[in-house]
Amino acid sequence: TLAGATATTSAVSLREVSSSNPGISLNTSTGAVSVAAGTPSAVHTLVYEICQLANLANCRSATVTLTPRTIDAVNDVFPKVFSSVGGSTPSVLTNDRFNNAPATTANVRLFLLTALPAGVSFNSTNGVFTVAVGAERGDFPITYQICELASLTNCDTASLVLEISGGGN
């Protein structure tokens, strides 16, 4: 603020004093803080200074703290699927969390990190595995990752064992 009113770039100058990471920067024309792609997901700080244009000796500094959103992919346990009839699993997102709320494809992106057995497909738009009739039988360890849509470097990984049995008629 300047004299109790919101500071604007027409009344104050902006200057970046320091940043805890070179990927965090201040646009001195707009006051926007930018986070470059690839900046590690961690707490970062940026110190800036504003000075009154009419009196450049009247300056104050402040610190912006950027805190990453939390993301938590939780290991899954699904009931077995029978290759004789096929079927689908629940969504891997059912127990995952993003910023203390349910993870959904509106806020995270799903990545499958494991190759799937023959006859199994994964829908990355809903997090569901589909097992076709006659799919390969066995217990298949699978790893997936969820990443924040707004920052694909903010990720977490979880796993499950997809059990495909021959029975179930």
Q: What average pLDDT does this structure show over 129-142?
A: 96
Has residue 168 got a pLDDT over 70? Answer: no
Asked if pLDDT for residue 19 goes beyond 90, the answer is yes
Quick: pLDDT tens for 43-74.
Answer: 999 999 999 999 999 999 999 999 888 999 99
Is pLDDT larger for residue 13 or for residue 154?
A: 13
- pLDDT, mean of residues 73-77: 97
Higher pLDDT among residues 114 and 37, named by residue: 114
pLDDT greater than 80 at residue 38: no
Q: How confident is the model at residue 120 (pLDDT cuts 50, 70, 90)?
A: very high
Whether 24 contacts 46, CB under 8 Å: yes
Q: Which of 111, 11, 3 is nearest to 52 (CA)?
A: 11
Please state the rounded mean pLDDT for residues 27-32.
Answer: 93
CB-count burial class (<10 Å; 0-12, 13-18, 19+) for 144: buried
Q: Which of 11, 26, 36, 30 is nearest to 62 (CA)?
A: 26
